[in-house]
């Protein structure tokens, strides 16, 4: 294994603002503590929350290295559980960098049959989708479900997981292409978000309504959600990108 350098490349913001404030900089490689490992990152997840920090919506000490998740290979370790050479995926801060010092409690070893790229692509969004389905809504086979933004990262995983447990899945998306993508991933019905979604849902469900709505949009869909939800149904609100503009 190649020696660990003293400096690395990282994506930072020194002032908040638009994409133009992003800087690709040389910074010191972090030194892991006894309870951490040093990971050489191969992939970092890009998440909407990164824009919150970049714009200053979420206050943070500057300069700030962006990023919330990554995957790569352990290159320095005092842990017998994760020795040097172990491929890992993890949630942490400052992952838009070539190296990260990560708490051992925050990392998971990647199985041999899963690529590093796939592991980081599905990790945070997959955990989110599974938690929403199983813990927030406890969806059961045969229930009516609706996924807003069904062609997004979490949306596609929600659609696949809901179909796998036998739920009836309706997806909304902003374009015909996105609706087709949602269908290919398991949505039995799709509705363009520009249509009268409430009327379409009433028609599709025969007036029953939706037992579990998964809404990662927020303001633009909230009122319609309240009209579509079935008696004793669940409205699971997460992400809420559009709440930024309240």
DSSP 27-93: EEPPPP-TTEEEEEEEEE---THHHHHHHTSS---SSEE--SEEEEEEEEE--SSS-TT-EEEEE-S
Q: Are residues 141 and 215 in the same domain?
A: yes
139: domain CATH number?
3.40.50.720
Same domain, 49 and 18: yes
Residues 138 and 82 in one domain: no
> Structural domain of residue 228, as residue ranges?
128-245
Assess whether 79 and 136 both reside in one domain: no
Cis-peptide, bond into residue 158, ω within 30° of zero: no
On whether residue 168 sits in a domain, the answer given is: yes
Q: Tens digits of per-residue pLDDT, 133-158?
A: 999 999 999 999 999 999 999 999 99
Q: Is the pTM of this model over 0.75?
A: yes
144 contacts 230 by C-beta, under 8 angstroms: yes
Same domain, 197 and 151: yes
Please report whether residue 123 resides in a domain: no
Give the C-alpha separation, 118 to 69, whole Å: 13
Q: Is the pLDDT of residue 239 over 90?
A: no
CATH of the domain at 86: 3.90.180.10
Domain count, the chain: 2
Q: What are phi and psi of 155, to 5 degrees?
A: -60, -45
| Average pLDDT over every residue of 165-185 | 98
Instruction: For residue 72, count other CB atoms closer than 10 A to its CB.
Output: 26
40/145 same-domain check: no
């Amino acid at each position: 294994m190649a020696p660990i350098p003293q400096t690395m490349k990282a994506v930072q913001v020194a002032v908040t603002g638009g994409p133009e404030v992003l800087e690709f900089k040389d910074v010191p490689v972090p030194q892991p503590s006894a309870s951490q490992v040093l990971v050489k990152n191969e992939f970092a997840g890009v998440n909407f929350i990164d824009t919150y920090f970049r714009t200053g919506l979420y206050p943070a000490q500057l300069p700030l290295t962006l990023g919330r998740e990554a995957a790569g290979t352990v290159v320095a370790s005092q842990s017998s559980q994760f020795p040097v050479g172990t491929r890992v995926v993890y949630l942490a801060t400052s992952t838009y960098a070539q190296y990260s010092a990560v708490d051992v409690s925050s990392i998971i070893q990647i199985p041999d049959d899963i690529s590093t790229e796939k592991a980081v692509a599905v990790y945070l969004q997959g955990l989110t989708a599974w938690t929403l389905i199983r813990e927030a809504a406890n969806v059961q086979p045969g229930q009516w479900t609706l996924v807003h933004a069904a062609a997004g990262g979490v949306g596609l995983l929600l659609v696949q997981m809901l179909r796998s447990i036998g739920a009836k899945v309706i997806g909304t998306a902003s374009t015909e292409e996105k609706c087709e993508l949602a269908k290919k991933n398991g949505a039995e019905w799709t509705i363009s978000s520009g249509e009268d979604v409430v009327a379409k849902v009433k028609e599709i469900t025969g007036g029953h309504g939706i037992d579990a709505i998964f809404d990662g949009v927020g303001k633009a869909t909230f009122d319609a959600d309240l009209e579509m939800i079935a008696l004793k149904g669940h409205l699971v609100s997460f992400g809420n990108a559009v709440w930024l503009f309240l």
